[in-house]
Amino acid sequence: MKIQQNLASTRQRWLNKPIQAYGLQLWLIDNGSLTARLQQRFSKFAVEPIAVKYAKLIQDEAGLLRQSIHKTALIREVLLMGDNQPVVFAHSVLPRASLRSAWNGLGRLGNKPLGATLFANSKVKRTPLSFKKLTPHHALYQHATRHLTQNPDVRKPPYLWARRSIFSLSCANIMVTEVFLPQLFHNKGFK
């Protein structure tokens, strides 16, 4: 019984470094702005908003943000597009208290990249990145793959790599999770 609990907690954990991420490793561990890196790699870069809504947090997000799982936060989900292909699914969690303070206005970004706003302010602090190989049972895998393709004949990948960190400004926090999509590999911009 204890072994099963340990395996379950290991599967839930986010890692301090990506293990066996192979060609994606350099993308995952880069501490700079992913938006800026994608803008350098693709001649056409765009942000395609999917959802901006108040919703309950995923349990591990609530714990890291020190929020009750019963409270709602503003969830922003977008696709980062490279040459008209979705290459990254981004999921941001903005607790209500953060929206009333330092991050006021972030809920109204529309198709503007969040990364440009976060990295433009030198007072913004970022926690170390953590990493996870998302399987089809994970909520973020399901959200990310829902928008991969409308063609039912295209198979979804067995897993997707994700990274996340918390950005802080004047005690206000925002968690950003970036899920790397297979199109990043199949595009000339993957290096």
Greater model confidence, 151 or 79: 79
Please compute the mean of the pLDDT values over residues 75-104 and round it to a whole number.
Answer: 87
What pTM value is reported for the model? 0.86
Residue 112's pLDDT is 82
Map out the domains of the chain as residue ranges.
2-184
pLDDT of residue 117: 79
Domain 2-184 in CATH 3.40.1410.10: yes
Alpha carbon separation from 145 to 114, 136, 151, 172 (Å, rounded): 21, 9, 12, 30
The two structure tokens encoding residue 32: 């700079």
pLDDT in tens, 14-23: 988 888 888 8
The SS3 assignment for 163 reads strand
**Alpha carbon of 189 to those of 137, 157, 169: distances in Å?**
29, 20, 32
Find which of 19-23, 111-115, 137-141, 166-170 is predicted with most confidence, using mean pLDDT. 137-141
